[in-house]
Amino acid sequence: MQQHLPLLPVDFCCRFGVSWWPRFLELQFSQSLCVRSETSTTMSFSHLSTLKCSTFSLSSGKFYGNHILPQAASTIPTLDGEAEGNTAGLNFESTKLRIKKMFNKVDLTVSSYDTAWVAMVPSTNSLKDPFFPECVNWILGNQLYDGSWGPPNLHPLLMKDALLSTIACILALKRWSVGEEQINKGLHFIESNLASANDEELHSPVGFNIMFPVMIESAMKLDMNLPLGAPTLDALFHRRERELKSGYGSNSEGWRAFLAYISEGFGKSQDWELVMKYQRKNGSLFNSPSTTAAAFTHLKNADCLKYLRTLLEKFGNAVPTVYPLDNYARLSMVASLESLGIDRHFREEIRSVLDETYRCWLHGDEDIFSDAATCAMAFRLLRVNGYDVSADPLSQFSEDCFFNSLGGYLKDIGAALELLRASEFIIHPDESVMEKQNYWTSHFLKQELSNTLVQDHIFNKHIVLEVEDVLKFPSYANLGRLSTRRAIKYYNTDSARILKSSYRCLNIGNEDFLKLAVDDFNICQSIHREELNHLARWIEENRLDKLNFARQKLVYCYFSAAATLFPPELSDARISWAKNGVLTTVVDDFFDIGGSEEELVNLIQLVEKWDVNVSVDCCSEHVEIIFSALKNTINEIGVKAFKWQGRSVTSHVIEIWLDLLKSMSKEAEWLRNKSVPTMDEYMTNAYISFALGPIVLPALYLVGPKLSEEVVRNSEFYNLYRLMSTSGRLLNDIQGFKRESAEGKLNALTLAMIHGNRVITEEETINEMKSVITSKRRELLSLVLLEKGSIVPRACKDLFWNMSKVLHLFYAKNDGFTAHDMMKTVMAVTEEPIVADEFCNQSHV
């Protein structure tokens, strides 16, 4: 059950000179949403003004009382701060409200093409009358000014869509001998644009090369005024014959499914009984109104009729090109909100969608299981959000099955992409179906990316970017803020899709999603920048910058917190994470190179005693600086954790640090004595000495849920820590092997080669280590995602997984924490705002 987070503490606002709500208002005042200046990006906390505002509760969405909260001086001029602030707040909330309402209804545009085929269905009482006269009337009333039918303001690259829809509407009107004026205007449009039918640069509706020539022939047989024998028509007919010959030659199940999907183009020559094997429980064929209308015309199937009537009851006098799409659309909304980093604003709505999806999953709902993209997306979202779902249904989308389906024949990149995403969440040893799925989908998508026609096509540019992103950044190395920034960049607000005709689902590719995501990203980043400034001062105040032996890694340490724990209310957790990250780096360097044996022993003794006189009990200035910083930070975390937990946890944080210091001391002893531990001895110590304990474990007390002593002493808690740290240690040892070998240090690779039962090469050892890492990572993910029998709250388990993702990113190619080549990535999270207009403009083709 979702636990409410506490109110943002007032001391958070006072400490950083900012409240997230006033900063949001400040950002909204800027027309570009992210006006940058030297003063705004290098803001000092000494330049503060006060602003009377209200504290905002993230758990209830209400305002509580008035407080005088310090705010960083704004560089943005305003005419009336209170009025503009209210407007900005209302805009933010109204955008959220519009998105919330979208969960209640899936909006689909109607299709002139499919409506025409429904209009052509004859009455069962008289072949001279239409069964659905309302569709005929809709066609008569919806011709566009240029004589075409289809969506208004159609993109020029969709001219073939307009041609196909227009000829279908002409045939429907001619079938019932009405609309002569509209027919003539439509014929003029076709004649004027017929050359576009052979333009391979244009996007083609599914089956266009077969359907359009057939329908042109039908028009000619009805003595319509078309240029008979024109070279363009000849080329069309030749292309149709080539495609049919190629398809019949393959004789694949995918080809047969494709022919069934475009059955309306074959009339009486089609084997309709064979086509009916594709009929679904809702009465449709392929959820396609045009195919279903044609089937009813020839077979008078009652379920087909029921489906068509359902459509017209829902949409009025016209029909869409695909229906139903509700499950796919709502799941796409959830997926978009999660990828854009704004799902926390819609927890109730998302939970409602997932609960209903889970119910459908358990009942084997055809609408979910018959479509690869919907099934894969449902599986991924359910599994990631803690629902117990089996991977077995994905076996129907194995490589052979997929390419023998309609989607496979059409090379559905979107479906393959969803299958690839789903395949990354393996949590059980017996999920080989997902291993295979990951292999073939990644191979297929890489092949498609190499296809220049796919790459160059403007309507594919966003999906191409998505595919490249997923192939480059697997989910286990994808950090929240980084992936959000890329998702904003790739988000397509002009998401015209095309089957037999183009269509839009207003729930997918909605501009409100993008607007809210940009606002939210910049709000969070403004807070992150100011926290980073606070941390820089903390380093100076604690004299950590005076320790010349220590690496200065504040920015990286804070980045790993801000990239994963980004919401404003998690400030305490971010600060704890970052400070302990800095301190573990300092202590690691102190034990490696900066401290003498006497100093190392002295530091451990000081932490064990705790209440000491630093001016007397510290044997050196270095020890005094490090111990004082440790003690101040641990006490500070203890005070903050008490507010969240309602109990003291300081002793546990001290214990965590003592475990680290003692494990580092053992490694230093091995190095001094030139000892060679066994692999088990090394790993038992190394997962602690890797120093993730002080970073992750204290932060768990600061993310919301209350953690009892029973929970933090439970084996589940220990296993989460062990798995995260073990895989991290091995990642580090692989990338640091050459450097550490040169320094005379032992690590897992060295020991594996020393203690192996056979002669083993470095490459073989690395491959074995990678297999272990994969196994540990999946075991960790399983603990994080599975709720049955778990006592550690999900919000806490996520921190272990987030740190694992940080490590996989840092050590993807080299020791990223030690190197400096990640600075550009860090800046994208902490320093570079998103300009909304830049992404809005590129979304429109």
Q: Give the C-alpha separation, 778 to 28, whole Å.
A: 42
Between the two ends of the chain, the Cα-to-Cα distance in Å is: 43
Which pLDDT does position 449 carry in this prediction? 87
pLDDT at 383: 98
Quick check: 40 pLDDT over 60? no
pLDDT at 48: 25
CA 327 to CA 354: how far, in whole Å?
10
Higher local confidence (pLDDT), 734 or 11: 734
Show the DSSP H helices in 103-230 as ranges: 112-119, 133-141, 159-175, 180-193, 208-221
Q: In Å, what is the CA distance from 788 to each residue of 645, 791, 793?
A: 24, 9, 12
* Contact yes or no for 303/279 (Cβ under 8 A): yes
pLDDT at residue 27 above 70? Answer: no
**439 alpha-carbon distance from chain centroid:** 20
pLDDT at 226: 76
What pLDDT band is residue 453 in, cutting at 50, 70 and 90?
A: low
Q: Which two tokens stand for residue 479?
A: 């950090």
Note the pLDDT of residue 644. Answer: 97
Cβ proximity of 419 and 396 under 8 Å = no
Q: Any residues with CB less than 8 A from the CB of 333 and at least 6 apart, and which? A: 102, 103, 353, 507, 508
CB atoms closer than 10 angstroms to residue 673: 8
Report residue 458's pLDDT band, with 50, 70 and 90 as the boundaries: low
- DSSP conformation letters of 601-656: HHHHHHHHH-S--HHHH-SSHHHHHHHHHHHHHHHHHHHHHHHHHSS--HHHHHHH
**Which residues have a Cβ under 8 Å from the Cβ of 270 and sit 6 or more positions away?**
259, 263, 298
Query: What is the average per-residue pLDDT within 85-110?
Result: 87
Q: Are 773 and 730 in contact (CB under 8 A)?
A: yes
DSSP H helical ranges for 690-714: 693-696, 709-712
Residues 6+ apart with CB under 8 A from 236: 197, 198, 209, 212, 213, 216
> What average pLDDT does range 415-434 have in this prediction?
95
Mean pLDDT of the region 498-512? 93
CA 180 to chain CA centroid, Å, is: 51
Decide: pTM greater than 0.85.
Answer: yes
Residue 1 pLDDT > 60 = no
At 399 the pLDDT is 95
Indicate if the pLDDT at residue 452 is higher than 80: no
Structure tokens at 690: 């890797």
Q: Is residue 770 predicted with pLDDT exceeding 70?
A: yes
**For 162, what's the count of Cα atoms within 13 Å in the CB-facing half-sphere?**
27
In angstroms, the CA 824 to CA 815 distance is 16
Q: How many CB atoms lie within 10 A of CB 694?
A: 26
Work out the widest C-alpha separation in the chain, in whole angstroms: 108
Angle between helices 253-261 and 231-250 (to 10 degrees): 140
- The burial of 761, by beta-carbon neighbours within 10 Å (0-12 exposed, 13-18 middle, 19 or more buried), is given as exposed
pLDDT at 53 over 50: no
User: Which segments of 43-158 does DSSP mark as H helices, in order?
Assistant: 81-102, 112-119, 133-141
| Residue 360 pLDDT greater than 60, yes or no | yes
The radius of gyration of the chain from alpha carbons, rounded to an integer in Å, stands at 32
In angstroms, the CA 682 to CA 686 distance is 6
Lowest mean pLDDT among 218-227, 420-429, 694-703: 218-227
Length of the chain (residues): 845
In this model, does residue 33 exceed pLDDT 60? no
Mean pLDDT of the region 468-484 = 93
Gap between the Cα atoms of 208 and 200, Å rounded? 12
The pLDDT of residue 71 is 32
Is the pLDDT score of 50 beyond 80? Answer: no
Burial (Cβ within 10 Å: 0-12, 13-18, ≥19) of residue 705: middle
Half-sphere exposure of 130 (CA within 13 A, CB side): 23
Enumerate the β-bridge partners of residue 108. 505
Query: pLDDT category, 294, cuts 50, 70, 90?
Result: very high
CA angle, 77 then 17 then 645, to 5°: 140
CA dist 683 and 411 (Å) reads 47
**Coil, strand, or helix at residue 69?**
strand
In this predicted model, what pLDDT tens digit does every residue of 536-573 receive, in sequence order? Answer: 999 999 999 999 999 988 999 999 999 999 999 999 99
Which residues are CB-neighbours of 525 under 8 A, at least 6 positions away?
829, 830, 831, 833
At 450 the pLDDT is 85
Provide the pLDDT for residue 26: 40
Token pair recorded at residue 289: 């109104």
* Segment 187-190 long-range contacts (CB within 8 Å, at least 24 positions apart): 187/147, 187/219, 187/224, 187/225, 187/226, 188/147, 189/146, 189/147, 189/148, 189/162, 190/163, 190/166, 190/226
pLDDT given for residue 55 in this prediction? 30
Q: Which of 587, 783, 780, 789 is nearest to 694 (CA)?
A: 587
Least confident among 277-291, 542-556, 625-639: 542-556
pLDDT tens string 308-345: 999 999 999 999 999 999 999 999 999 999 999 999 99
Residue 39 has pLDDT above 50, yes or no: no
Separation of alpha carbons 494 and 720, rounded Å: 42
Q: Which of 703, 785, 770, 760 has the alpha carbon at shortest distance from 733?
A: 770
Report the pLDDT value the prediction gives residue 414, as an integer from 0 to 100. Answer: 93
Between CA 82 and CA 71 the distance in angstroms is 14
Lowest mean pLDDT among 225-229, 706-710, 774-778, 825-829: 225-229
Which stretch of 139-153, 455-469, 552-566, 622-636 has the lowest confidence by average pLDDT? 455-469
Beta bridge partners of 66: 54
Tokens for 729, please give them: 């240690």
Q: Kindly give, in sequence order, each residue whose CB lies less than 8 Å from that of residue 802, ignoring residues fewer than 6 positions away.
A: 479, 480, 564, 565
Angle at 163 between CA 157 and CA 168, to 5 degrees: 145
588-592 mean pLDDT: 94
The mean-pLDDT minimum among 323-332, 481-490, 814-823 falls in 814-823
Provide mean pLDDT across the span 437-449: 95
User: Mean pLDDT for the chain?
Assistant: 86
Of 588 and 59, which is predicted with more confidence?
Answer: 588
Listed as own residue / partner, the contacts of 675-680 with beta carbons closer than 8 Å and 24 or more positions apart are: 676/746, 676/751, 676/754, 677/746, 677/751, 678/751, 678/755, 679/748, 679/751, 679/752, 679/755
pLDDT at 835: 86
Residue 90: the pLDDT is: 77
Contact by Cβ (8 Å): 669, 689: no
C-alpha dihedral sign at 298, 299, 303, 309: positive
- Cα(335)–Cα(373) distance, integer angstroms: 12
